[in-house]
Amino acid sequence: MKKGSGILLHITSLPSEYGIGDLGPQAYAFVDFLNQSGQKYWQILPLNPTSDVFGNSPYSSFSAFGSNTILISPDKLIEKGWLKKKDIESINFSEDKVDFPAVRVFKTKLFDLAYANFFKNKNGATKDFVKFCKDNAFWLDDFALFVVLKQIVGEQLWNTWPAEIRDRDPRVLRDFAQKYSQKLEEVKFLQYVFFSQWMELKKYCNQKGVSIIGDIPIYVGEDSSDVWTYPQYFKLDEQKRLMFVAGVPPDYFSKTGQRWGNPLYDWDALQADGFKWWLGRIEHNLKLFDVVRIDHFRGLVGFWQVPVSEPTAINGQWQPVPADEFFTAVEEKFPHLPIIAEDLGVITDDVVATMDKFGFPGMKILVFAFNGNMDTHPYLPHNFKRKCVVYTGTHDNNTVLGWFKKEATLQEKMNVFEYIGKRVPRKEINWALIKIAMDSAAQIALFPLQDVLSLDQTARMNVPATTEGNWIWRAEKKMLTRTVSDRLKQLTQKAKR
């Protein structure tokens, strides 16, 4: 991973006239903004499909391989001839917030029409579409079945479906696929459209000298096509119900720990199959991104296992992962793997040893750096001991200005001014931390766009452990000014990034 800096901004937060950021003109304009600002990286959040049921969190998906088709650009569909401009009704969407349910209804109508035009004019297939379906059959066929089964059989958990469908009786699934072949094709068509638009955008990024950092959530959802398709890789009982769930143990931040509720991997079964499912997942993501960040990396070394009957995470146990064997298999298949390990929270020696052995850089968060001993705090740049990626903050934190105004203790504020200098105006704290990150020894320095735009807590992307008001923030087109770009470029050049 080349030395450089970049911006963290999810696709949903881009400007657009369709109520949500997408893969259309404003995504390309943002790449131009990055290029003009001297930035080499664009980090996004997971691209997997989301749902209103789980608050549209990109970390709660029903597929580890599928894409979030509501990010498809209507403008690009018009370019392909699958829509006409007159097909798009004028809707007065908010510019600064995403209304996911309204956007989903709006875009579903457009997608149905685009597919109908595709099917009518191309007899249901094109050379590229057929190739896409063939190349991605290992996940796409079951994903499409899962989506359509949800529509026809019912939206309840897949493990409550009739036993022959729950247990994937080949004859029953074959008959279902024949009966609903056109619905299945539309699901595949939308995946094809998304990945086609995405790869065009990625190519443009790379041409402009910008690398994309993608994000892999370590766990999948219980109600997902992955668990339905590969129940043997998860800790389930004979009725395909969860026996244990994922989480983290009690710590300074939570006396009861965190009970996430995701199914846990059966690492013995995964290892017996040569880690095939995980290797396929990594390969899939490496096609989409230049660098991948693995969320909750420590779960690939050891994980907190909570019995499903427990209401909290207190009575869990640490369970080992064959990390050496797994990452050796990964390294053999993907030499020089460009991984960033999310190693925040309480990290044990075995996690550090694994990261060191395989050369994975960890993360340092500056808004966490002022709550302890300034001489020894591991998140302050003068204490960076190993290669790392430094952030002013992440999607889970407040913005720098929001943190300083609303969350930082008096001691933390004193520590900030001691570190950056007492003459820095409070409204410039964000730029001071951006400069600290730029000037550090970290391989990569990354900043949420909200920090570059000097926004406060009203622009926060997510508050962990809450379900309302998250993932909806959007940048307005007028915010991406030449003044901001020039200031960022000047800092970048001075830091030789």
Closest residue by Cα to residue 403 from 458, 363, 362: 458
Tokens of 103: 């956007």
Residue 432 lies in a domain: yes
Q: What is the percent of the chain where pLDDT is above 70?
A: 99
**C-alpha dist (Å) from residue 344 to 174, 248, 296, 362, 387:** 45, 12, 8, 8, 15
DSSP string, 97-145: B--HHHHHHHHHHHHHHHHHHHHHHHTT--HHHHHHHHHTHHHHHHHHH
Residue 129 lies in a domain: no
Residue 104 lies in a domain: no
Q: Domain of 20: which CATH number?
A: 3.20.20.80
Averaged over 194-220, what is the pLDDT? 97
Closest residue by Cα to residue 30 from 46, 47, 14, 8: 14
Place of tokens 């959802």: 221
Asked whether residue 124 carries a pLDDT value surpassing 60, the answer given is no
- Write the DSSP symbol of residue 398: P
Given this model, what pLDDT does residue 169 score? 98
- Write the DSSP symbol of residue 297: G
Question: In terms of C-beta density within 10 A (0-12 exposed, 13-18 middle, 19 or more buried), how is residue 403 classed?
Answer: buried
Q: What confidence tens digit (pLDDT) does each residue in 245-283 have?
A: 999 998 776 789 889 999 999 999 999 999 999 999 999
Tokens of 311: 């209401």
Residue 149 lies in a domain: no
Task: Residue 388: count other Cβ atoms within 10 Å of its Cβ.
Answer: 23
Q: What confidence tens digit (pLDDT) does each residue in 210-225 have?
A: 999 999 999 999 999 9
- The alpha carbon of 438 is separated from its chain's Cα centroid by a whole number of angstroms, namely 24
Q: Are strands 211-216 and 41-43 parallel, antiparallel or unpaired?
A: parallel
**C-alpha dist (Å) from residue 428 to 46, 381, 419, 439, 452:** 31, 19, 14, 17, 10
- Average model confidence (pLDDT) for the chain? 95
Place of tokens 């608050």: 55
| Position 252, amino acid | Y
Q: Which residues contact 438 (CB under 8 A, 6 or more apart)?
A: 5, 445, 491, 492, 494, 495, 497
Q: Which residue has the higher pLDDT, 87 or 386?
A: 87
Averaged over 140-169, what is the pLDDT? 96
**C-alpha dist (Å) from residue 8 to 137, 293, 343:** 32, 12, 18
Averaged over 81-96, what is the pLDDT? 90
Averaged over 413-419, what is the pLDDT? 95
List beta partners, residue 305: 246, 317
Residue-range definition of the domain harbouring residue 374: 4-62+208-494
Residue 329 CA to residue 149 CA, distance in Å, equals: 35
Q: How many distinct structural domains can be found in the chain? A: 1
Secondary structure E strands in 249-395: 258-263, 291-294, 302-307, 317-320, 339-341, 362-365, 388-391
295 is catalytic: yes
* Catalytic residue (one of 95, 141, 396, 412): 396
Residue 372 lies in a domain: yes
Residue 469 lies in a domain: yes
Averaged over 97-117, what is the pLDDT? 96
Given this model, what pLDDT does residue 372 score? 87
Asked whether residue 160 carries a pLDDT value surpassing 70, the answer given is yes
- Write the DSSP symbol of residue 79: H
> What band does 125 get if pLDDT is binned at 50, 70 and 90?
low
Given this model, what pLDDT does residue 246 score? 95
Residue 414 lies in a domain: yes
∠138-139-141 over CA atoms, to 5°?
A: 90
Closest residue by Cα to residue 28 from 249, 170, 206: 206
Q: How many separate helices (H) and strands (E) can be counted in the chain?
A: 18, 12
Asked whether residue 415 carries a pLDDT value surpassing 80, the answer given is yes
Given this model, what pLDDT does residue 123 score? 57
Averaged over 149-176, what is the pLDDT? 95
Tokens of 172: 């029953």
Residue 150 CA to residue 366 CA, distance in Å, equals: 43
Task: Residue 91: count other Cβ atoms within 10 Å of its Cβ.
Answer: 13
Residue 79 lies in a domain: no
Averaged over 459-468, what is the pLDDT? 89
Residue 10 CA to residue 50 CA, distance in Å, equals: 13
* Catalytic residue (one of 342, 343, 451, 456): 342
Tokens of 275: 């880690």
Q: What is the percent of the chain where pLDDT is above 90?
A: 90
356 is catalytic: no
Given this model, what pLDDT does residue 462 score? 95
Tokens of 276: 């095939």
* Catalytic residue (one of 87, 295, 331, 439): 295
